[in-house]
Amino acid sequence: MVMFRVLLQFIFYFFASLLCLSQQTLTEGALSPVHPHGFNETVQFLLSNKLFKCVSGWFTKPTEKPPNSSDVYQNVRQKLVAEMKAENIKQFLRSFTKLPHLAGTEQNLLLAKQIQGQWKEFGLDSAELVHYDVLLSYPNETQPNYISVIDDQGNEVIFLMIKLQLCKTSLKKQCLPLFSHSLIPADLVYVNYGRTEDFFKLEREMGINCTGKIVIARYGKIFRGNKVKNAILAGAQGIILYSDPADYCASGVDAYPDGWNLPGGGAQRGNVLNLNGAGDPLTPGYPAKEYTFRYKVNEGVGIPKIPVHPIGYHDAEVLLRAMGGPAAPDSSWKGSLNVSYNIGPGFAKNSSTRKVRMHVHTNNKITRIYNVIGILRGAVEPDRYIILGGHRDSWVFGGIDPTTGAAVLQEVVRSFGKMKMEGWRPKRTIIFASWDAEEFGLLGSTEWAEENARILQERAVAYINTDSSIEGNYTLRVDCSPLLYKLVYNLTKEILSPDEGYENKSLYDSWLEKDPATENNSYPRINKLGSGSDFEAYFQRLGIASGRVRYTKNRKADKFSNYPVYHTVYETFELVEKFYDPTFKKQLTIAQLRGKLVYELADSQVIPFDCRDYGEALKGYSNRIYRLAKKHEEQLKPYKVSFDPLFSAVVNFSKAAAEFHRRLEQVDKKDPVAVRIMNDQLMFIERAFIDPLGLPGRKFYRHVIFAPSSHNKYAGESFPGIYDAMFDIESKADQHEAWEEVKRQISIAAFTVQAAAGTLKEVA
Amino acid sequence: MVMFRVLLQFIFYFFASLLCLSQQTLTEGALSPVHPHGFNETVQFLLSNKLFKCVSGWFTKPTEKPPNSSDVYQNVRQKLVAEMKAENIKQFLRSFTKLPHLAGTEQNLLLAKQIQGQWKEFGLDSAELVHYDVLLSYPNETQPNYISVIDDQGNEVIFLMIKLQLCKTSLKKQCLPLFSHSLIPADLVYVNYGRTEDFFKLEREMGINCTGKIVIARYGKIFRGNKVKNAILAGAQGIILYSDPADYCASGVDAYPDGWNLPGGGAQRGNVLNLNGAGDPLTPGYPAKEYTFRYKVNEGVGIPKIPVHPIGYHDAEVLLRAMGGPAAPDSSWKGSLNVSYNIGPGFAKNSSTRKVRMHVHTNNKITRIYNVIGILRGAVEPDRYIILGGHRDSWVFGGIDPTTGAAVLQEVVRSFGKMKMEGWRPKRTIIFASWDAEEFGLLGSTEWAEENARILQERAVAYINTDSSIEGNYTLRVDCSPLLYKLVYNLTKEILSPDEGYENKSLYDSWLEKDPATENNSYPRINKLGSGSDFEAYFQRLGIASGRVRYTKNRKADKFSNYPVYHTVYETFELVEKFYDPTFKKQLTIAQLRGKLVYELADSQVIPFDCRDYGEALKGYSNRIYRLAKKHEEQLKPYKVSFDPLFSAVVNFSKAAAEFHRRLEQVDKKDPVAVRIMNDQLMFIERAFIDPLGLPGRKFYRHVIFAPSSHNKYAGESFPGIYDAMFDIESKADQHEAWEEVKRQISIAAFTVQAAAGTLKEVA
């Protein structure tokens, strides 16, 4: 089977027009319009500096009225939401997705300036660009990446030009942060999703050793960086990631552009760093400013030391078809390609002497990125901040990710600006943020958090994320701190459901019906915060109460994997307009909910947090971790492992929370200092769960109750210290030492909950 | 020279009476009085539970008036200080020094209860005992410690019974925290003060290798724990500490009891841990509660793995006289014993085959300790705390250390209580603390700080230390945050000097005349905070503005060593009454100053911090560290080391501080929230210097501007990260790596100062 493929499937005819573009300077004032071809309506006209004027011109510019006009203060709650329009979100989305906005590119700086200008026009008190110089990674323009299959004579019998490269002329730069590597040829091993349990299965049940091998893993279920980490731990010398149709094609749906499925040539981009919250890999803990000390790239945090590259399922099929070795252990290891999913190592039969070789070359470059930070100053407590932030950079056009979020942010800012121009101000300050370089590891948001950590830890009330507002169109998905449960439930009752068949019902009702919580199905499901978006530094490192809301698909269908064309060039405006949210009502609903969350947090006299829900959540988490521990019941006694201190701390927390809210009801609302004292207790309760020493081996994950799972960054784990200490404990060599660590973690958890309870007590 | 000495010099005739005491149960209600013998007036009558009643009975118990009586609110500033009396301090000192109060003993618990009771009587809103279970170390009652000299036949030709043991019957328990060791015999090396520079001299100039040797170091100049650490780094297998008359006897002064010099049998107790701020060695970072996970003793923080023991100069002379090897390199290596201070290794001439052996046996025991925490609730901002804390535990009687501080605390509490009983309350809450187990490594204060870290970091305005109020009687000594400079200067101008010859002059004036600052002699000297007392966790770990004030000796005479009988059994009430402060006016002055500091911090509408002084201080520190760097001028350029970012950050800080204070003057003082916002900025400015990542290798020292010196815990070092990175840099093998670390530290310092400046800017 000699195949020589210089793959060109990727080049849509619309690329021809984009290629024209790329040869012109996008920073210039004006470019000739290129007319649309077929579905690609995004390229209807070219955007230059004129765009900003054009976009902001959509809205009548209000003139600012004197503050405190009482008519404005009335009903801002209603007016703010009524101000938001689906059509505006659509226009923002169209405008912001005309060009790729990869972090570190001129286009993305231009977009930052455009957003900054609009925010000022909308009426914010200020809108500034804040830059950092972070490590980004782009494809090497002179050395294209490819994967080859080599025969025993050393001839390249299969040559898989890595497709992302093909976009480079038009899209300039877009790749995973990687070291440059040309590996010695090696046998391939198929590792399913590359999860911890997949490698356990291989190593422990099937006796397959990945040392020195190149592994091929399908995308899905978990964060790709965890797959890479697992491959490294297994001793692999390289990892190929591919999207299997089983995970990225829905049945009965066409491939894009005719439907929303992933075409066979489509490869998912994405960073594969294991930063564990560090932000820029070269400046962990500190903002990447001009003067900041930088580690060398080979000392950088979380950068894999093996090559990694994504391919589409057409290419993957070529490799997988040739695989030898045992068959997939069970159906959970089989995708839906027409191959048998043999594990390897290596190829079958007469191809068995053939080896795979990865050629990956990247330019790592310290590159300037730009956040846009907009301020709407609070009238009463300007030193209390509500942050609404989401990223602006995208791998290509960002049709869904992030621009369905960025467009919502824009509409929310516009609406708040309108209220402000009419004379209103929120009690507290609202900070709007358009983050850069999220796709390279949450860099813009983390660097800003690092730069402003001291201010934020003393003054930030809450952080609401505004990444993609849709990842599906089935129902609402909420991940947030337990402090926000009640607020989210209350607000969703005030918003009409955009779902078909739920006309005149509330968002809460459709959400509850479609996705009730597992533990108590009389409430809609709310998930724990993990990571994978910009709230991470704010929640996991700084302990600022955070939340994210978006429209999602039916989770029962597929629990963890993303929408099919996630992080591919097919994420376009048309994808959203044609398939995901043609009316833009789902996005409007999310704009309303994000906007209401910010409004209530910023303007309520008493911060709308409920600590009692945290108590309930802690109870659930402690029961869960105890149930996990009980699986090792025969160890608990001899090693003297007791969860009693944790249970007792949780009870104390719940009591303190109940008592706190009783006092809160009685506080003299006319005494501004008395109210502020209790608001401070509310603001600091999430902070109380922060342990400055951090989690073991993950010093920037400092929240004792929640962390991104060590096995899947996207998922949230509760009591992560205890969980990780108990994970796979039976296989640890020194059982005594292992259980001592469990006890240490229980002790830390119990103390932290107890200490948090202490902050709710009367202050003197 | 065969000597067999069972040393009994220690036993004063007053011990006979104390021995009686120890055989009775001190927890019992009543003991027969034992009449005084000679000077030992402390044993005039025995103290039991009756003591408390007796002591509190000295003062007329006021009845509480309704709060807010306007007459009380007037002039509390004056009344509070006028209320304090030298005679009361004297009585408290007498009362509290009747018995030894070693941490973990029944006596010290009784004293805690007594203090708790008095605080309640004085009128505090609450006074509670708060306990922790920490690792303490006591002498082994069955295996006495001794040092012997062994001849080549293995015979013990010199036997130095370690004198501290002799007190054990009477004083129950008192020793250094140590492992048990019986060392193989080894040669002795005299290492002068055991400072870093002393070991450098030995190793680098004299070619003397301490590996496997027992070193003998004289006390003084630096914290004894640093001597031990240096000995360990040099490879020593044991260390003997002794007090040389050069450092512990003033000329023309008799030994105690006829004067205040150290007798030849007196040995200085004290812990030799290198905890670096960890508190209890087994529970670093967390409070040592019942449920807390504990490391094993051999995993504990900072516990030396070699034996250490103190001896007096009579015993030291026996060892030193026999020493061989080269002579002391210069006069700075010579004490004032009648020996030639040969360095060794080993003994001279015909004794050269003799070796020294240390036999040290201790009982390490997790022991309950008790802090007393008293609260005087604030009327306006009860959630803002001013802490006045000092330790109660002592090595023996604690005549100076800590009881001249504990007595002052008692008088300050009594005076505040009086004001409160008359209807007054401070604006902010005052927390009074009587810490336990300071002598074992600042344990009580650190554990409480750990337990309450979350509350303290959000609410604590300032910490004032109240350890020993005198360590001499020459002039004032102040170590504090630059934020407090102005307050200290202003308050000392309001207090009359207690110094002879300065009648009718202010404390400020006598202080300025006797100890002007080196940099600018128009101000009295104020020192940087190091460690060695209970402010450590509050300042170095949590970043709470802190200060300590006390009377001290003439620093020109002897810069670092303590008063002669420091930490010996000779620290008695009589020592203070006869020699140090017969009128108790020095202590009264310190009570007034500590009390005024607390009062102004607690009751001023605007927190009396001046950030501009911090700017000036930072300027001085950055210039100083740059001068140190310039000594390596030829390295700065090739390694691209620039201090410009630091200088620039310092300039920005000063500008922000000036601007802040301008705004502060203009703030509407009638708007309680506006004032609180600026007070919050003031409160958090010290916190802004905290780096959660801590200093390299010292994670609990997190203040970027100040830390205890790595070479002497007692001293404060400015920009410690940079200082330590540059220390002895010329001897480091990898110069590139070493200078990279310098650059990293400059970057951290510059960022931290810049970030602190940011917190002073307008909040939105």
| pLDDT(A65) > 60 | no
* DSSP tag of A167: G
3-state secondary structure of B125: coil
* Inter-chain touch A687–B285, beta carbons under 8 Å: no
Give A453's Cβ-side CA count (13 Å radius): 27
For residue B644, which residues of chain A lie inside 8 Å, CB to CB? 291
Cβ atoms of A463 and A402 closer than 8 Å: no
CA dihedral B633, B634, B638, B644 (to 10 degrees): 10
Pairing of strands A706-709, A126-139: unpaired
Length of chain A: 764
Selected for mutation to probe chain B from A454, A542, A681, A700 (highest B CB count within 10 Å) is A454
For residue B763, which residues of chain A lie inside 8 Å, CB to CB? 382-383, 429, 459
The whole-angstrom separation of Cα B81 and Cα B65 is 20
For residue A750, which residues of chain B lie inside 8 Å, CB to CB? 291
Task: Tell me which residue in B125, B287, B763 faces A751 most closely, judged by beta carbons.
Answer: B287
Sheet holding B381-391, edge to edge: B126-139, B362-376, B428-435, B381-391, B460-465, B545-552, B475-480
Distance from CA of A376 to the nearest CA of B (A): 8
Q: Which positions ≥6 away from B419 have C-beta within 8 Å? A: B72, B76, B79, B80, B83
Task: Tell me which residue in A676, A692, A747 faces B676 most closely, judged by beta carbons.
Answer: A676
The whole-angstrom separation of Cα B560 and Cα A296 is 43
Q: Which positions ≥6 away from B62 have C-beta within 8 Å? A: B123, B418, B421, B422
In DSSP terms, which residues pair with B712 in a beta bridge? B709
Instruction: Tell whether A286 lies on the interface with B, counting CB pairs under 8 A.
Output: yes
| pLDDT(B467) > 50 | yes
* Inter-chain touch A293–B458, beta carbons under 8 Å: no
Task: Tell me which residue in B286, B429, B759 faces A455 most closely, judged by beta carbons.
Answer: B759
The whole-angstrom separation of Cα B27 and Cα B14 is 22
Instruction: Tell whether A13 lies on the interface with B, counting CB pairs under 8 A.
Output: no
Q: Which of residues 687-746 of B touch A (CB under 8 A)?
A: 687-688, 692-693, 699, 702, 740, 743-744, 746
pTM for this model (two decimals): 0.91
Cβ atoms of A347 and A322 closer than 8 Å: yes
Tell me the mean pLDDT in the region A392-414.
97
Q: Where are the beta strands (DSSP E) in B257-400?
A: 308-311, 355-360, 362-376, 381-391
Q: For A695-737, write each residue's pLDDT tens digit.
A: 999 999 999 999 999 999 999 999 999 999 999 999 999 999 9
For residue B699, which residues of chain A lie inside 8 Å, CB to CB? 693
For residue A677, which residues of chain B lie inside 8 Å, CB to CB? 381-383
Structure tokens at B205: 């100039």
Task: pLDDT band for B181, please (50, 70, 90 cuts).
Answer: low
Cβ atoms of A625 and A722 closer than 8 Å: yes
| pLDDT(B45) > 80 | no
Task: Report pLDDT for B14.
Answer: 30
Instruction: Tell whether B418 lies on the interface with A, counting CB pairs under 8 A.
Output: no
| pLDDT(A20) > 50 | no
* DSSP tag of A669: T
* Inter-chain touch B380–A677, beta carbons under 8 Å: no
Pairing of strands A362-376, A126-139: antiparallel
Percent of chain A with pLDDT over 70: 87
| pLDDT(B385) > 70 | yes
What sign results for the dihedral spanned by CA atoms A619, A622, A627, A630?
negative
Q: What is the DSSP track for B153-202? A: TS-EEEEEE-GGGGGHHHH---------EEPPPB-EEE-TT--HHHHHII
Cβ atoms of B359 and B146 closer than 8 Å: yes
Task: Report pLDDT for A142.
Answer: 79
Q: What are the phi and psi torsion angles at A704 (to 5°)?
A: -80, -25
What sign results for the dihedral spanned by CA atoms A115, A121, A127, A131?
positive
| pLDDT(B38) > 80 | no
Alpha-carbon distances, residue A552 vs A470, A581, A591 (angstroms): 6, 11, 14
Q: Catalytic annotation on A447?
A: no
Chain B residue closest in CA terms to A289? B751
Cβ atoms of A514 and A474 closer than 8 Å: yes
Structure tokens at B476: 């004032």
Residue A215's H or E segment, with its range, is strand A214-218
Cβ atoms of A611 and A679 closer than 8 Å: no
Distance from CA of A459 to the nearest CA of B (A): 9
Task: Report pLDDT for B146.
Answer: 87
**Residue with tokens 């060398």, as numbered in its chain:** A296
Task: Report pLDDT for B350.
Answer: 84
Residue A335 burial (CB < 10 Å; 0-12/13-18/19+)? buried
Task: Report pLDDT for B426.
Answer: 98
For residue B750, which residues of chain A lie inside 8 Å, CB to CB? 291
| pLDDT(B248) > 80 | yes
* Residue in A187, A244, A438, A613 annotated catalytic: A438
Tell me the mean pLDDT in the region A363-382.
96
The whole-angstrom separation of Cα A16 and Cα B508 is 82
Task: pLDDT band for B227, please (50, 70, 90 cuts).
Answer: very high
Cβ atoms of A610 and A656 closer than 8 Å: no
Residue B35 burial (CB < 10 Å; 0-12/13-18/19+)? exposed
Task: Tell me which residue in A380, A458, A764 faces B382 most closely, judged by beta carbons.
Answer: A764
Pairing of strands A362-376, B712-718: unpaired
Q: For B48-76, write each residue's pLDDT tens digit.
A: 333 333 333 344 444 555 545 555 556 89
Cβ atoms of B459 and B430 closer than 8 Å: no
Which are the catalytic amino acids of B? 438, 642, 680, 703
Residue A90's H or E segment, with its range, is helix A86-96
* Residue in A41, A151, A558, A680 annotated catalytic: A680
The residue among A97, A83, A714, A54 whose CA lies nearest residue A405 is: A97
* Inter-chain touch A291–B676, beta carbons under 8 Å: no
Task: Tell me which residue in B451, B687, B751 faces A287 most closely, judged by beta carbons.
Answer: B751
Q: Which of residues 120-159 of B touch A (CB under 8 A)?
A: 125
Task: Report pLDDT for A70.
Answer: 53
3-state secondary structure of B416: helix
Instruction: Tell whether B667 lies on the interface with A, counting CB pairs under 8 A.
Output: no
* Inter-chain touch B750–A377, beta carbons under 8 Å: no
* Inter-chain touch B458–A759, beta carbons under 8 Å: yes
In the predicted model, what is the mean pLDDT of chain A? 89
Task: Tell me which residue in B125, B291, B751 faces A292 most closely, judged by beta carbons.
Answer: B751
Q: Catalytic annotation on A642?
A: yes
3-state secondary structure of A159: strand
Q: For B164-176, write each residue's pLDDT tens digit.
A: 433 333 333 344 4
| pLDDT(B596) > 50 | yes
Chain B residue closest in CA terms to A646? B291
Percent of chain B with pLDDT over 90: 81
A vs B, Cβ pairs < 8 A, gives 127
Alpha helices for B35-75 (secondary structure H) = 49-56, 70-73
Tell me the mean pLDDT in the region B317-330.
96
Pairing of strands A475-480, A545-552: antiparallel
* Inter-chain touch A764–B385, beta carbons under 8 Å: yes
Sheet holding A146-150, edge to edge: A3-5, A156-161, A146-150, A355-360, A181-182
For residue B292, which residues of chain A lie inside 8 Å, CB to CB? 747, 751
* Inter-chain touch B286–A747, beta carbons under 8 Å: yes
3-state secondary structure of B382: strand
CB atoms within 10 A of CB B560: 15
Q: For A197-253, write each residue's pLDDT tens digit.
A: 999 999 999 999 999 999 999 999 999 999 999 999 999 999 999 999 999 999 999
Task: Report pLDDT for B645.
Answer: 98
Selected for mutation to probe chain A from B124, B126, B128, B291 (highest A CB count within 10 Å) is B291
Task: Tell me which residue in B286, B382, B744 faces A751 most closely, judged by beta carbons.
Answer: B286
For residue B672, which residues of chain A lie inside 8 Å, CB to CB? 672-673
The whole-angstrom separation of Cα A160 and Cα A170 is 20
Task: Tell me which residue in B291, B693, B750 faces A285 most closely, judged by beta carbons.
Answer: B693
The residue among A707, A678, A673, A709 whose CA lies nearest residue A690 is: A707
Percent of chain A with pLDDT over 90: 81
The whole-angstrom separation of Cα A543 and Cα A545 is 6
Q: Catalytic annotation on A258?
A: no
Alpha helices for A569-643 (secondary structure H) = 573-574, 585-603, 611-630, 633-636
Structure tokens at A407: 């467009």
| pLDDT(B334) > 60 | yes
Chain A residue closest in CA terms to B290? A645
Tell me the mean pLDDT in the region A564-576.
96
Cβ atoms of B725 and B738 closer than 8 Å: yes
Pairing of strands B362-376, B428-435: antiparallel
The whole-angstrom separation of Cα B299 and Cα B293 is 13
Distance from CA of B673 to the nearest CA of A (A): 6
Task: Report pLDDT for B48.
Answer: 31
Tell me the mean pLDDT in the region A463-489.
98
Cβ atoms of A205 and A331 closer than 8 Å: no
Q: For B718-752, write each residue's pLDDT tens digit.
A: 999 999 999 999 999 999 999 999 999 999 999 99
Cβ atoms of B720 and B707 closer than 8 Å: yes
* DSSP tag of B474: S
Distance from CA of A151 to the nearest CA of B (A): 45
**Residue with tokens 């310190």, as numbered in its chain:** B590
Task: Report pLDDT for B317.
Answer: 96
Which amino acid would we find at residue B276? N
Q: Which of residues 612-641 of B touch A (CB under 8 A)?
A: none
Task: pLDDT band for B93, please (50, 70, 90 cuts).
Answer: very high
**ipTM here:** 0.91
Task: Tell me which residue in B385, B673, B762 faces A380 most closely, judged by beta carbons.
Answer: B673
Q: Which positions ≥6 away from B267 have C-beta within 8 Å? A: B162, B163, B164, B242, B243, B310, B311, B312, B568
Q: Which of residues 340-379 of A touch B (CB under 8 A)?
A: 375, 377-378
For residue B681, which residues of chain A lie inside 8 Å, CB to CB? 383
In DSSP terms, which residues pair with A460 in a beta bridge? A385
Task: Report pLDDT for B745.
Answer: 98
For residue A378, which residues of chain B lie inside 8 Å, CB to CB? 764
For residue A688, which residues of chain B lie inside 8 Å, CB to CB? 454
DSSP3 helix / strand / coil % (chain B, rounded to 5) = 40, 20, 45
Task: Report pLDDT for A161.
Answer: 62
Cβ atoms of B369 and B134 closer than 8 Å: yes
